[in-house]
A and B are shown apart, each in its own frame.
Chain A
Amino acid sequence: MGSQVPIGRRNILADKVKFVLALGGVTLAVLLILVVQSLYAGVQRESASFIRSLPGNVWVAQQGVAGLTFSNSFLTEDHAATISSIDGVNAVHRLDGRLTEFNFNGRSVRTYVWALTTGADPDPGEQRFLPQPGTIFVDRALAKGDGLNRGDQLVYDGTPFTVTEIGNMGNVLIAQFAFIHPDDYNRLLGVIGAANFFLVDARDDKTLNVIEEITGEIDGVDAFTTEQFVEVAEEATRIFLPLIRVVTVISFIVGLALLSLTIYSATIERSREYAVMKVLGASPARLYGIVLGQSAIITGLGFAIGVGFAYVFNYTAEDFVPEFVTFIRWQDVLLTFGIVAVMGIVASFLPINRVARVEPASIFRA
């Protein structure tokens, strides 16, 4: 069977203004949905990447803590000795951090400052978290957003910190990370006798035993493998989900409204032609196919253009908003495709109903 006359395509392309309007609506919807999804995925990825890049394979946090930055974990620093004595533990590192406001040339620079105290000789990969006293390593997005360069001085409570490294320290959209020396942290920001997290370097074959022993011996703590803690941190980012849902619903409504109006008006304007086609012997399925085909053309094109725009937007957005950390996952592209497909089907309901009610005899009236 060969090709058929593409009636739907011809009809929808006949009115360029309406076509562009509907296409724009669907494209905008796809763009908005994908951008917010990619921001969410970007935050999750950055957070996971940060956790995985730190030393140790067991994370110890205060019981009930949800993630890295969205709640505070307070542990007693004496726990380090208890953990060290557990069989299978090679080293215990300590990680402290809090949101801090520095002064930079009279301006406020807000960053989440961390300090890593290593319990063993650091390997080369960990050096990027270990600045010298009086210096600070800052995240690339923070530096770009606040115009920081190597050699600049950030001041906290009268103490200057010289920026000596700008790199991928960590960026979770609402906060960008920086590292200072543990001595500086304890002196200026620390709580006496308290630590935030312990990162335990346990023997691989003893990891689960170590976790069991930690939670058994120390009250009020949770211990996780690194990957479990990545999941805990991902859970914490769910606070963004209501926002994502709202944007998705608004995008869906905007896209659906423009698409529905276009398909419906294109059907109304051509209702006589649908009657003609009925008289010429078109089956109901063929006529519904024409309506759905129009919808599919707009949603398909809108989806493709929207995905393209989302990639371009994500690629260029960091130039304008450095804090934007985005990652387009194929699952999100698939989800967006599903949303757009539903949009196309819903937008076709009324026009199909209208076509179904068209009387073939109506064309005999001039």
Chain B
Amino acid sequence: MTGSPSSTGADSPDGGPVLELRGLTKVFQVGPTTVTAVDQVDLSARRGEIVLIMGPSGAGKTTLLAMIGGALRPTSGSVRILGREITSMTESDLTDVRRHEVGFIFQTFNLLESLSALENVQVPLNFAGVSGSAASERATGLLVNLGMESRLNFKPDELSGGERQRVSIARALANDPSLILADEPTGNLDSDQGHEVVALLRRIAKEQGRTVIIVSHDQGISEVADRILRLRDGRFTAPQTQAG
């Protein structure tokens, strides 16, 4: 593997990194063909760090992100979040990790269309057992903090792309996760909205101390990333680039 484990930062309860990948591999069987989407990837990310993973389409970025988030089981290797190995967890424990430790941000926002902005942010809180006024207050606070106070009761189709992404970010922060995974977060936004979202992600990482892993084609994000990793054919191709 040519990836670049971080050598700094140790913020999990036992002093280790927030995220640590070791030999992470995913092989798909497509008919008679075996496709290695992610091949022996190692990565380590510390608290408050922004890691940008770039690469061409089909490089394995999204597969890597899905495995980090516990949404896809790897063929081999390990994923540790706050020191806990998640690849061997039961489905129920994995759901619990996604619920509490990981926040997700998507290119297509993936908001629930029949719910308002406020309700969309309340949903993961409900899943974590927080409901009623506690969930409502927490969701309102997150949305207000992201400048969405006048859009709380708007449905996703009544919001602009930038506003939807802010709702998505608020939703990702709802359960106070240590790790934020963003899949092409600026992919569906114009450049102004894109800059706004990138600035928000930096704020989240630096002010709130969350680790942010971003997968993107967008060169504009590189200016806020602490490290840029390039993925090609499932492998990191060059030593890490330190930004800024």
- Which A residues lie at the B interface, using CB under 8 A? 1-5, 7, 10-11, 13-14, 272-273, 276-283, 286, 359-361, 363-366
Contact = CB atoms under 8 A, between A and B. Distances in A.
A277 B127 CA distance: 9
15 contacts: A1-B129, A4-B126, A5-B126, A10-B114, A272-B110, A277-B112, A278-B71, A280-B171, A281-B95, A281-B100, A281-B175, A359-B71, A364-B62, A366-B108, A366-B184
Given A3-B131, A277-B127, A281-B124, A360 B115 contact: no
B113 interface: yes
A220 to B, nearest CB: 73
A363 B127 contact: no
Interface string B94-138: 011011100010111010111100010011101111011111000
A2 B131 contact: yes
A148 B171 CA distance: 74
Contacts of B171: 280
B114 A5 contact: no
Given A14-B114, A272-B110, A364-B71, A279 B98 contact: yes
B122 A5 contact: yes
Contact of B72 (A14, A281, A361): A361
A95 B25 CA distance: 93
B69 interface: yes
B96 A281 contact: yes
A278 B95 contact: yes
B110 A363 contact: yes
Contact of A276 (B112, B122, B183): B112
B229 interface: no
Interface string B61-76: 0110110010110000
Contact of B115 (A3, A10, A280): A10
**Closest CB pairs A-B (n = 8):** A2-B132, A281-B99, A10-B114, A361-B72, A360-B71, A14-B114, A4-B126, A361-B66
Contacts of B92: 283
Given A11-B114, A363-B110, A280 B124 contact: yes
Nearest to B108: A366
B114 A280 contact: no
Interface string B56-92: 0000001101100101100000000000000000001
A361 B62 CA distance: 9
A65 to B, nearest CB: 63
Contact of B128 (A7, A277, A281): A281
B132 A3 contact: yes
Contacts of B128: 281
Nearest to B188: A366
A366 B8 CA distance: 33
A69 B131 CA distance: 64
Given A3-B131, A273-B112, A360-B71, A280 B123 contact: yes
A364 B126 contact: no
Contacts of B104: 279-280
Contacts of A4: 122, 126, 131, 135
A15 to B, nearest CB: 9
Contacts of B108: 366
A2 B112 contact: no
A282 B71 contact: no
Contacts of A282: 95, 127
Contacts of A277: 112, 123, 127
Contacts of B110: 272-273, 276, 363
Given A281-B96, A281-B124, A361-B66, A2 B133 contact: yes
B79 to A, nearest CB: 14
A283 to B, nearest CB: 6
A277 B171 CA distance: 11
A365 to B, nearest CB: 7
Contacts of B98: 279-281, 360
B115 A279 contact: no
Interface string B181-192: 001100100000
Nearest to A286: B127
Question: Most chain-B CB neighbours within 10 Å: which of A4, A272, A280, A363?
Answer: A280
Contacts of B96: 281
B65 A364 contact: yes
A290 to B, nearest CB: 10
Given A13-B114, A277-B123, 17 more contacts: A2-B131, A2-B132, A2-B134, A3-B131, A4-B131, A5-B115, A5-B126, A276-B110, A280-B124, A281-B100, A282-B95, A361-B72, A363-B110, A364-B65, A364-B66, A366-B108, A366-B187
B212 to A, nearest CB: 17
A14 B113 contact: yes
Contacts of A2: 131-135
Contacts of B100: 281
Contacts of B123: 5, 7, 277, 280
Nearest to B110: A276
A366 B188 CA distance: 11
Contacts of A281: 95-96, 98-100, 124, 127-128, 175
A11 B114 CA distance: 6
A272 B184 CA distance: 18
Nearest to A280: B124
Question: Most chain-A CB neighbours within 10 Å: which of B62, B114, B131?
Answer: B114
B78 to A, nearest CB: 18
Contacts of B63: 364
A149 to B, nearest CB: 60
